[in-house]
Amino acid sequence: MRRVTGQPRPDWEKTIEAQGLGFHRNVPQGEGRPYWDESVHYAFTLGQVEDLELVVSELHDMCLQAVDHVVKTRGFAAYGIPEWLWRPITRSWERRDPHLFGRFDLCYDGTGHAKLLEYNADTPTSLVESSVIQWYWKQDAHPAADQWNSLHEALIGRWREILRPGTMLHLAHTDTDEAGEDALNVAYMADVASQAGLQVRHLTMEAIGSDGRGFYDLGNHPIEHLFKLYPWEWVTTEGFGRAAVDAQSGQPWVEPLWKMLLSNKALLAVLWELYPDHPNLLPAYVGTPHGMTSYIAKPLLGREGAGMRIVQPHQVIETAGPYGAEGYLFQEFWPLPDVDGWHPVLGAWVVGDTPAGLGIRETAGLITDDTSSFVPHLIHD
């Protein structure tokens, strides 16, 4: 795995904006570089990518086994999930309500075992950068090279498996998304769903109405199938939360309710309990560091690196954020690789049950947050 420098394309800003990535101008340049940075890329061998595909496939299977374990043992308490949700989540899993996609965040240096840092299973973002923007960069700048990237085709295929062509699908995000990232991801998802033969309507969560029995858009059209880029832990605390949960028995939303067991960082402790000493896992525990002297404390429902605390014998590093009241996951601290002074996190995508691509964020610090730059990658042999 090599970090390679190069010259950005002339007028690259206009190019990526024409391809849909407009919100990059709204991301603070906390490290003095743009959010999309094509002046560098990471180069992998085909063998490394094939190994990572196997890792992602195994991690995905392990996560499904973890859901099954939690449901069968009623191990919801570690997640901090209210008891009124235990039965609906169980029923959602027993029905195998269809799931669409997720992103595993991995620590990997090209030589040792990739380590799972966390799993973004309910509302993963950076989809457009991973699927579209870096693909067209490759086509323009390195047309003879390859890339681990079948996201676009995989999403179209998965939507065809979830819903019949001609079905109406509503897609929603929150209007509190000031940067525009969520809106972009939902717009792209609407595009791939349309290419899968679905009818699509794009709206915000705040524009969804409910009469206590069903849900409707502003045109009073019934919302029978919904893709939401809005986490279940937020939905269930809204005034319409119970009605939304009750609706899942008829027309489950995407992502399904059982994904609450994968989008919560307590998953990492369950995985470590089920698969101790697995080469792709790190020791992890809910509520206590369990005697570890170097660890990272992660809010169970935290996002974008907010509210974290890295504890080492010689220093403590903390990030601000609104999360933590729900409890913490304590995971062994595993430093990110240092590649020319930068620290990459690999975001490995799974669509349905199949590995489908890679996106990379990197930062000069130890915690990847919402200002960390996205850089493309290639496969070189």
DSSP state of 222: B
Question: How far is residue 229's CA from residue 73's CA, in Å, rounded to a whole number?
Answer: 29
69: its two tokens: 């374990």
pLDDT tens per residue, the chain (381 residues)?
Answer: 999 999 999 999 999 999 999 888 766 666 678 999 999 999 999 999 999 999 999 999 999 999 999 999 999 999 999 999 999 999 999 999 999 999 999 999 999 999 999 999 999 999 999 999 999 999 999 999 999 999 999 999 999 999 999 999 999 999 988 778 899 999 999 999 999 999 999 999 999 998 877 899 999 999 999 999 999 999 999 989 999 999 999 999 999 999 999 999 999 999 999 999 999 999 999 999 999 999 999 999 887 777 888 898 988 888 887 877 788 999 999 999 999 999 999 999 999 999 999 999 998 877 777 778 999 999 987
- Residue 167: what pLDDT? 97
Pairwise CA distance, residues 273 & 355, whole Å:
24
Radius of gyration for the chain, computed over Cα atoms and rounded to the nearest angstrom: 20
User: Which residues sit opposite 350 in a β-bridge?
Assistant: 102, 355
pLDDT value of residue 325: 79
**87-120 burial code (b ≥16 CB/10 A, e <16):** ebbbbbbeeebebbbbbbbbbbebeeebbbbbbb
Q: How far is 122 from 349, CA to CA, in rounded Å? A: 13
- Do 224 and 169 meet the contact criterion of CB atoms below 8 Å apart? no
Question: Contact 321/338 with Cβ under 8 angstroms?
Answer: no
CA 1 to CA 273: how far, in whole Å?
31
Domain ranges of the chain: 2-263+341-379, 283-332
Determine the pLDDT at residue 30. 60
Q: What is the pLDDT of residue 28?
A: 64
What would the two tokens of residue 236 be?
A: 């269930």
Rounded to whole angstroms, the Cα distance separating 275 from 271 reads: 6
